[in-house]
A and B are shown apart, each in its own frame.
Chain A
Amino acid sequence: MGIFSTGFAALTLLGLILLKLFPAKWRWLVLLGLSWGFYAFCGLGPFAVLLAVTGLGYAAGRRLSALNARLAALDKGDKAQTEALRGRKKRTLALALVLLFGALFAFKYLSGLTAGLDRLLGLGWSLPALFVPLGLSYYCFQSAGYMIDCYRGGVTAERSFPRYALFVAFFPQLTEGPIGRYGDLAPQLADPKPLTWESAKTGLQLILWGALKKLVIADRAAVVVSEIYGNYTAYGGVMIAVGVLFYCIQLYCDFSGTIDVVRGVAYLLGVELAENFRRPIFAVSLTDYWRRWHISLGAWLRDYMFYPISLSRWYQKISRRLRKRLGGRFGKILPTSLVTFLIYFVIGVWHGSSLKYLAFGVYNGVIITAGLLAEPLFEKFCVSRGIDRKSRDMRAFGMLRTTCIVFVGRYLTRAGSLRAALAMLWKTVRHPIPSQFSSGALFRLGLTGMDLALIGCGVLAVLFVEARTERGDDLDGALERRRGLRTLLTFLALAVLLLFGVFRGSYIPTEMIYQQF
């Protein structure tokens, strides 16, 4: 059951009715029932995996919090006992994380890895593909964050198993995130806010905007993307670049649209989820882009990987040696740059085990690390030429540069393989065949002129809203003051959604892209 399905809409509606009927103290249980029902409907195998991961997180959290309590009660002079308890805490967390990520690895990567090794080394065998439980990596990362928070003592473990289970399985965010934090989410889930006119308005507005992006823009762009990426050998470089441009549009409208719907549904149910996007189109560097795109994953990797590795004793020793040996600014930033590279490599691998994702991770990691290391030189260059790096022109230059870098990266993530992605890039550079484009090939890719016009208008609307929001304009407040315009726009959006999104033409609606990760 996908988020853009009648079943999901019915589930949300049922949730709203039940939340209204049940007294406040049972509302969290209603949400758990709906969430488990939703997941069990997706398959009993995946549901069993969800329960196992929930049980693991619950048990590990309780154990870690119990050890924290014993540590706090200990006499400060008792160093031997303190060390022993700290050691047990570390072992508990390590075991829980190994089991958790072991499960993620087994379901998501193992089969692909053995198939890859078979192709490479001719082993003659590979493991059959297992089912990949819906949203596995999202709830595994969320559970891991909870366990680490318990280990650090930032949160006290949840005593009630069903309440903890709701934190892991809250159905709107289960399939595509955002990856929530226990400290933010658990109090809201324990006591969901009652539906008010204001929250209904905000929630429905988010759902409408998200559905427009996904069903009207992304699903149409997907037709062009499938055709060009699937038959790239038939197209020249210019048409391939057009396909990649459509993929960029599809990916952003698909993921951000789905997250808007997820946040809107959660809003209606009385829970405010964290934002997952902050207008990535306006990023001035690749680092800035990753701070704005899939924010919850980036923040997770920062808090639970980047900081712990960078500040661990063993890495600090390496850092000190590098600082002493290399000296200067280079010596200071190299150790942190290396961890940064690792993080972006992990972002690539998070998407999947195939070579193209590894290449995507390396591509991002190399560019960002090189940028960090070259930063002093660039700064010196700007000072010597009197260039103001905060000027409007430099911001525009930064945005253009970032767009180009992200654009090239998108060859990798959608192509069938690394080889196909490289071939597509090669054709773009060396065999553009612009005549293909000018002869109207765009209109022979499965979309009508009307469809293309809808994509164009949709993209302009998205850009307009994002540009105004980036500038700090309060669009919501402005529309609140002009209620007539608001009503008109809402009806217009609804009409466009129904006419061109729900009762669409002959093309097939696509699955949400980030659901597969």
Chain B
Amino acid sequence: MKQTIERILGELCPGVDLESETLIDEGLIDSFDLVSLVGELMDEFDVELTVEDLLPENFNSVDAIVELIARKR
């Protein structure tokens, strides 16, 4: 799952530091990228993500995204 998320993230935000722990806090992913990312994640992992899930702590790192998807499955 982690590799897939890294691939999606890399495609959406070329050059983004996949090791970063502050993807949202430092603005490496903006609101536009975030919505595109959520759309891709929902398609790829067949989960439903809502506005309530759009918290920085859920998207600040690849590991956090993995945890979010695991919770939602």
Chain A residues with CB under 8 Å of chain B are 152-154, 287, 291, 302, 306-308, 310-311, 316, 319-320, 323, 329, 332-333, 335-336, 339-340, 372, 379
Contact = CB atoms under 8 A, between A and B. Distances in A.
A101 B3 CA distance: 45
A310 B30 CA distance: 14
B35 interface: yes
Given A320-B43, A332-B40, A310 B14 contact: no
B6 to A, nearest CB: 17
Contacts, number: 47
Nearest to A291: B30
Given A333-B36, A340-B32, A307 B51 contact: yes
B5 interface: no
Interface string B37-59: 01110110000011110100000
Main secondary structure of the interface of B (DSSP, over half): helix
A311 B32 contact: no
B52 to A, nearest CB: 5
B4 interface: no
Contacts of B54: 307, 311
A296 to B, nearest CB: 15
Given A152-B52, A320-B43, A311 B35 contact: yes
A323 B39 contact: yes
B20 interface: no
A153 B52 contact: yes
A318 to B, nearest CB: 11
Contacts of B11: 329
Kindly state the interface size class of chain B when it binds its partner.
Answer: 10 to 19
Contacts of A320: 39, 43
Given A320-B43, A323-B43, A336 B51 contact: no
A307 B39 contact: no
26 contacts: A152-B51, A153-B52, A287-B32, A302-B31, A306-B35, A307-B31, A308-B51, A310-B35, A311-B38, A311-B49, A311-B54, A316-B39, A319-B39, A320-B39, A320-B43, A323-B39, A332-B36, A332-B40, A333-B32, A333-B36, A336-B32, A336-B35, A336-B36, A336-B39, A339-B35, A379-B14
Contacts of B18: none
Counting chain B CB atoms within 10 Å of each CB, the highest count among A308, A310, A316 belongs to: A310
A336 B38 CA distance: 11
Interface of B: 11-12, 14, 30-32, 35-36, 38-40, 42-43, 49-52, 54
Contacts of B35: 306-307, 310-311, 336, 339
A180 B73 CA distance: 35
A179 B73 CA distance: 36
A339 B32 CA distance: 10
Contacts of B32: 287, 333, 336, 340, 372
Nearest to B48: A313
A309 B39 CA distance: 12
Contacts of A336: 32, 35-36, 39
B32 to A, nearest CB: 6
Contacts of A323: 39, 43
A351 B36 CA distance: 29
A379 B15 CA distance: 11
A291 B31 CA distance: 11
Query: Which 3 pairs show the lowest CB-CB distances between chains A and B?
Result: A310-B35, A307-B51, A336-B35
A329 B40 CA distance: 12
B13 to A, nearest CB: 11
A329 B43 CA distance: 15
Contacts of A287: 30, 32
Contacts of B51: 152, 307-308, 311
Contacts of B30: 287, 291
Given A287-B32, A323-B43, 5 more contacts: A287-B30, A306-B31, A319-B39, A329-B11, A332-B39
B36 A316 contact: no
Contacts of B14: 379
Counting chain B CB atoms within 10 Å of each CB, the highest count among A153, A154, A307, A323 belongs to: A307
A332 B12 contact: yes
Contacts of B40: 332
Contacts of B42: 316
Contacts of A335: 39
